Amino acid sequence: MKVSVATEVFPLAKTFTISRGSKTEARVLVVTVEADGVQGRGECVPYARYGETPESVRAQVERLPAAFDRGALQRLLPAGAARNAVDCALWDWEAKRAGRRVWQLAGLAAPGPQVTAYTLSLDTPAAMRAEAAAQAARPVLKVKLGGEGDLARIEAVRAGAPAARIIVDANEGWTPESYAALAPALLRLGVALVEQPLPAGADAALADMARPLPVCADESCHDRASLAALAGRYDMVNIKLDKTGGLTEALALRAEAERMGFGIMVGCMVGSSLAMAPAVLLAQGAAVVDLDGPLLLAADRPYGLVYDAGGVHPPEPQLWG
């Protein structure tokens, strides 16, 4: 099997800011696998928070042996962006070689459109109110928080989008004290859940706190090995392919998380439709879907996913799977 990797850059429609910083472009890696005259593709987003760079991820891919399959890949690479791109490329290749769709190969029901959140990046309350008003027709808004003035920000968003379902993402930016102080106000404002309020590795305090506002693990949840430590601390888990290392582990993680009683959220990094396509299959029936990456780009790739009033639609075979 021939494996190649290429860097692609997608400018964002506007600057995207979270508690850890800002970005103006999505820099992604696209892995292509080829054998028997058939090609498959997968996309990943290396993430500095997890110690990844485009160079380190590329090196992981380029060190793969000449012959392997998806089962062997789970042992050859750790969970993370590199394995994600290769795993999803292999799923795409298998589907194209078989003349079937990935969900058929995986034994899944035919997918349908899923309502997705749309993310508002961290900004001043006035700017976030204006953006919320511009996006008020969307059914779900995800609001980036994680700093001083968060209550004013979420009040501004609610004022700008009074009918939207709101979820918030602190990106590890709060303390136990700030979470405890903010939770009642967030409930009053109709917020449905909060993602990762405390830093991963410093979230044990959640086990001893009342959680009237459901708490979803993001940075604390990567693959099935993460789940045991999350019990009693979190109510939901956010599954992202770049954390699990691909669709293969993501499907297994979802099944195990559901067995343990966690609610399911399916999220994404900021990437193109090629990165979102496998996640649409994973997201079927999830409590929360956050696959808005292509909506944040100035322009998506050809055969991009369709977003409309019904949500994000499954990919066409020209894109993936």
Q: In what order do the strands lie in the sheet with 21-35?
A: 2-18, 21-35, 38-44
Residue 144 designated active-site? yes
Kindly state the tokens that stand for 215.
């708490």
Between the alpha carbon of residue 27 and those of residues 45, 87, 115, 297, 313, the distances in Å are: 7, 19, 26, 11, 24
DSSP 41-59: EEEE---GGGT--HHHHHH
- How many Cβ atoms sit within 10 Å of the Cβ of residue 232? 10
Active-site residue (options: 14, 96, 142, 240): 240
CA separation for the pair 233, 194 (Å, rounded): 13
Q: How far, in Å, CA of 264 to CA of 284, rounded?
A: 10
Q: How many CB atoms lie within 10 A of CB 132?
A: 25
Q: Within 10 Å of residue 8's Cβ, how many Cβ atoms?
A: 14
Return the beta strands (E) in the chain as ranges.
2-18, 21-35, 38-44, 118-120, 140-144, 165-169, 191-195, 215-217, 236-239, 263-266, 288-289, 307-308, 311-312
Q: Measure the N-to-C terminal CA separation of the chain; round to a whole number of Å.
A: 18
Query: Is 240 assigned a catalytic role?
Result: yes
Distance of CA 111 to CAs 195, 238, 278, 294, Å? 26, 20, 11, 19
Given the residues 96, 142, 144, 243, select the one marked as catalytic.
Answer: 144
Could you give the residue numbers annotated as active site? Answer: 144, 240
